[in-house]
Amino acid sequence: MRFLEESIVKVGVEAANVEGAIEAAGELLLKEGYIEKSYIEAMKYSYKENGPYFVLAPSIAIPHARPEDGVNEASVSLVQLKDPIVFGHASNDPVRLVFGLGASSSEEHITLLRKLTGLLNDPMNVEKLATAGTYEEIKKIVEMGRS
């Protein structure tokens, strides 16, 4: 289980569009071997098919696909966008934080989502994550949210 570790968090990422933002969050998980390339394709396909419903809250997108699309380890990455991107959501655009969710069918999946929910239920944390300049700052926010 991998949750917002240094190797899967990137600050100030430039992405041209929604697909680029999803790819960036997926690439972080791919280069560590937590997902397969097919999973990134499935995340983008889901966006095309189901629309931007995974923009769960103002500024926050959580692209994901199904475990069978190619997940090796339950994981959550973070891409903090340099410039906000419009995903086409009715009330939560534009997106500043993209959490790539490697969804597994294990108990770890639920643990990860609990951690993520605990972190993001506090709007102060969202603002801090969106404006953090370094991984160290993000790490502090993540660790405080763990209590």
Partner 1 sequence: MKVLTVCGLGQGTSLILKMNVEQALADKGISAEVEHTDVSTASTMEADYIITSNELAEGLVGHRAKVFIVNNYFDMEEINKAIDENVVS
Tell me which residues touch partner 1 (CB under 8 A).
Answer: 46, 49-54, 56-58, 60, 62, 64-67, 89-92, 101, 103, 109-110, 113-114, 116-117, 120-121, 123, 126
Instruction: Rank residues 82 and 106 by Cβ distance to partner 1 and give the closer one.
Output: 106
In the complex, the smallest distance separating the C-beta of residue 44 from partner 1, rounded to whole angstroms, is 13
In the complex, the smallest distance separating the C-beta of residue 89 from partner 1, rounded to whole angstroms, is 7
Instruction: Rank residues 66 and 82 by Cβ distance to partner 1 and give the closer one.
Output: 66
Instruction: Rank residues 61 and 82 by Cβ distance to partner 1 and give the closer one.
Output: 61
E-strand ranges in 15-94 read 60-61, 75-85
AA identity, residue 78: L
Tokens describing residue 125: 């944390």
Contact 138, 78 (CB under 8 A): yes
Distance CA 29, CA 112 (A): 15
In the complex, the smallest distance separating the C-beta of residue 137 from partner 1, rounded to whole angstroms, is 20
Contact 1, 107 (CB under 8 A): no
Instruction: Rank residues 50 and 147 by Cβ distance to partner 1 and give the closer one.
Output: 50
Tokens describing residue 137: 């700052």
Distance CA 147, CA 137 (A): 17
In the complex, the smallest distance separating the C-beta of residue 20 from partner 1, rounded to whole angstroms, is 20
